[in-house]
Each structure stands twice: as structure tokens, then as C-alpha cells.
Homo-oligomer: A and B are copies of this chain.
Amino acid sequence: MIIIKIGGGAEINLQGIIRDLAQVKDKFIVVHGANALRDKLAEDLGQPKKVVTSVSGYASVYSDETMIDQMMMAYAGAKNKRIVELCQRHGINAVGLSGLDGKVVRGVRNKAIRVYEGGKLKVLRDYSGKPEAINKDFLDLLLDHGYVPVLTVPIIDEQNNAINTENDDVVRVLQKAMCAETVINLIEAPGFLENKDDEGSLIRSIRAAELEAREQQVDGRMKRKMLATRRLFEHGASKVIIADGRGEHPVTDALAGKGTVIE
């Protein structure tokens, strides 16, 4: 079992990825983002992301109902259905699912955060959280009958609310539940870079045991990505490939060892 995570950047070559996937013999599940599309939609609608800062100084995107609607439109709507359409054109009988559908990805909603707004202390709670469990029976039912699940956010919380979460965390619980040996993470870079501003500084292989040290080298989204990668190995993954989603053959190249192979 392979999990293919497709980043939501504008430069990702979806056509190439799906064409490659049509040649893959193993069972696989797709998890995809849509952040570039969501940001464009939010901008076009004149409803940009709201960022709130907690009293402890931690900044986060505030996922209110409007933002969840946008997420449903961009991730579960246009991007998911265009990927399903591409899959069908290449003979992959895809079924696009948010985490709500068949409760396929269940999570726990984040607790309230305390923020200062206009000098006043306020308690806010948004629709975001962490994935915790997978409806494995449902995914097996689809896979056993020849359907390929194409998953995206939002997911569903313990009160059956749609909530935002990180797709990297979805991949983590999915890998564990489905006992996937291989995870391919397709991003807008050649892989894990020694120097994030130099695409020539690709690190071709990393031992899983090195990951904790590597995490210290990086910051921001890449740090979270490395942490998520480390956790995959704690739950039995044997190979994670961080590879370029922009090339002509992103999946074939990744499986041939291009990118950063972590074992």
C-alpha cells in the first residue's frame, strides 16, 4: 500500500502525477491539498484568511464557518473533483472524499484559545483540530472493489462538525491505520534541501534515525513536515519519499529514488 500526498501548490503537475499513478501496480490512496486554490478563492471573494495571536504569542489561522465553506469549495469541491476527473481519464476509478464522507477521517476539535482583541481578552474557538482515527473498513471496502480513495480536508470532529486540519497529520493517521509501507510526498521542491534557498542542495537520502536532528535544521512548514515524517516511522512506515511534484513524471521519478528517500 502506497499513500501519495499531493501538495496544494500552484506549480504541482497534476496531469503528470495522475498519468504516472495509472501505471502503479500496488494499491494506493491519494491525499491532496489545495492551498493555492483556496488562497486565490479567498482573495477573489475578498475574504482573506484571519490570523489570531493567542496570549501565549502563538499565531494561527482562524477557521470560522466562512473559512470552512471556502475549504469545502476549494479542497473538497473544485480541486478534489478535478483530480477525480483526471483519474477517470487515465482509467483510475477514483472516489473523492472529504473526511466527513463515511466519517472516513475523524478528529478532535481544538480547545478554545485566549486572544487579545482591541486590548480586551477574548476566548475564541474555531473549527480546527487534529485527526485521530480512520474508517479503515470503508477504505478497504472501496479498495477491495477497485475504487481509489482520493482524500482531502475538512475532517469530522467528535460533535460531527467539519473541521480544518493539516493534511500531513491526515497522512500520519492514514499510514498507521492502513499499514502503508511507502509514503510519497510531492511538493514544490526537489525534496529535502540542505539550504532551502538552493534547489541544488538536495539531500538524496536520510536515515529515519537522523530525522530528529534534521528537524532542528529547518523552520516553519518544513519543520512540521519533518516532524510528521518522523512520526510515520514510529508507526511502521518503511520508506518515505519527499519528491518534486513539478516534473514530467513525479511519481515514477519518486519511486525510482529521485528526491529525498528516508528509510
Contacts and interface: CB of A to CB of B under 8 A. Distances in A.
A72 B138 CA distance: 24
Interface centre among A80, A95, A103 (most CB of B within 10 A): A95
A132 to B, nearest CB: 16
Interface in A95-142: 95-98, 100-103, 137-138, 141
A244 to B, nearest CB: 26
A100 B89 contact: no
Q: Give the interface SS of chain A, mostly helix, strand, loop or mixed.
A: helix
A46 B145 CA distance: 42
Range class of the A interface residue count: 35 or more
B72 A98 contact: no
A66 to B, nearest CB: 10
Assembly stoichiometry (copies): 2
Interface string A77-101: 1101110110011000111111011
A141 to B, nearest CB: 6
Contacts of A145: 137-138, 141
Contacts of A156: 85, 88
Interface in A62-84: 69, 72-78, 80-82, 84
21 contacts: A72-B81, A73-B73, A73-B74, A73-B77, A76-B76, A77-B78, A77-B80, A81-B101, A81-B162, A85-B162, A88-B100, A88-B156, A93-B103, A94-B102, A95-B101, A95-B102, A96-B97, A96-B98, A102-B147, A137-B145, A141-B145
Given A44-B45, A76-B80, 7 more contacts: A44-B46, A72-B82, A73-B77, A76-B77, A84-B98, A85-B162, A88-B103
Interface of A: 41, 44-46, 69, 72-78, 80-82, 84-85, 88-89, 93-98, 100-103, 137-138, 141, 145, 147, 154, 156, 159-162
